[in-house]
Amino acid sequence: MKVIINQAKLLESIQHVTKAISSKTAIPILSGLKIQATQNGLKLTGSDSDITIESYIPMEEEGIQFIDEIEQGEIVVHAKYFPEIIRKLPQDTVQIETDDHLQVTIHSGSAEFHLNGQDAEEYPQISQLQTDSSFELPINLLKNMIKQTVFAVSTSETRPILTGVNLRAEEDLLKFIATDSHRLAASNIPLESPIDTFPSNQVVIPGKSLNELSKILEDTEEKITISISDNQIAFQTENLYFLSRLLDGKYPETSRLIPEESKTIIHTNTKQLLQTVDRASLLARENQNNVIRLQTKENNTIEISSNSPEIGNVEEDLTVNTIEGEDLKISFSSKYMIDALKIMETDQIKIEFTGAMRPFILKPVDNDHILQLILPVRTF
CA distances from 230 to 4, 204, 234 (A): 40, 11, 12
Question: Which pairs with CB-CB distance under 8 Å and at least 24 residues apart come from 40-44?
Answer: 41/66, 41/67, 41/70, 42/3, 42/5, 42/10, 42/13, 42/67, 42/70, 44/13, 44/14, 44/16, 44/17
Per-residue pLDDT, averaged over 337-360, amounts to 95
| Domains by residue range for the chain, with CATH | 2-122 (3.10.150.10), 133-255 (3.10.150.10), 259-374 (3.70.10.10)
Residues 294-346 pLDDT 10s: 999 999 999 999 988 888 999 999 999 999 999 999 999 999 999 999 999 89
pLDDT at 380: 54
What is the tens place of the pLDDT at every residue in 211-246?
A: 999 999 999 999 999 999 889 999 999 999 999 999
Cβ-contact 349, 340 below 8 angstroms: no
- The string of DSSP letters for 183-229 reads EEEEEEEE-SS--TT---S-EEEEHHHHHHHHHHS-S-S-EEEEEE-
Q: Indicate the pTM of the whole model.
A: 0.92
pLDDT of 200 strictly over 80 = no
Write down the mean pLDDT value for the chain.
93
